[in-house]
Amino acid sequence: MYGYLFEKYRPTEDEEYMCLNHREYFKQKLLDWRKELIAMSQLFLVELKENGTKAADTLDQSSHHSEMFIDFSTSERQQKILHDIDLALVRIETGEYGYCEITGEEIGLKRLEAQPLAARCVEAQKIFERSMNAKARTANLQENSMISR
């Protein structure tokens, strides 16, 4: 219903932040993205059924398996994005979309336009990423120390 209305509309700073127009615009953007990902997922399944895994020789099989690994990785990533889209749609319905889940501050229209799944403001995202990187480094150090024992 709103898709047609919001084809040419772009949220502006002149409007109240996360007004009905903003919410409907981002909702439609997320729904369109979701629809595209589902279509790609279905195409992947059809191709998987049609192509199978039998190849003439070992080299062809190896190449086919590598391609399938990449396709499965892509499909897995798409499933995660679909989940994140669903979470963003829930945030739109509850009025939380566009606001940082950590600080409650506005995420900003430019950031949401570039990354409609953003749930944190830039500063909170930086802190989160530093924390995740620190955890990964700690896990790496622990793994390396166990290997060297």
Q: Determine the pLDDT at residue 54.
A: 57
Bin 108: left if φ > 0, else alpha if -120 < ψ < 50, else beta: left
Report whether pLDDT(141) > 80.
Answer: no
Q: Which domains does the chain have, with CATH numbers?
A: 2-120 (1.20.120.910)
Question: Are 86 and 33 spatial neighbours (Cβ–Cβ below 8 Å)?
Answer: no
Q: Determine the pLDDT at residue 75.
A: 81
Percent of the chain with pLDDT over 90: 58
Length of the chain: 149
Chain-centroid distance of CA 43 in Å reads 19
Higher model confidence: residue 31 or residue 59? 31
Question: What average pLDDT does the segment 103-123 reach?
Answer: 97
Please give the radius of gyration of the chain, using alpha carbons only, rounded to the nearest integer: 21
Neighbours of 23 (CB within 10 A): 18
Question: Are 55 and 61 spatial neighbours (Cβ–Cβ below 8 Å)?
Answer: yes
Each residue's pLDDT tens digit, 80-106: 999 999 999 999 999 999 999 999 999
Q: Determine the pLDDT at residue 64.
A: 63
Each residue's pLDDT tens digit, 6-36: 568 999 999 999 999 999 999 999 999 999 9
Report CA torsion sign: 13, 15, 18, 22.
negative
- Mean pLDDT (the chain) is 85
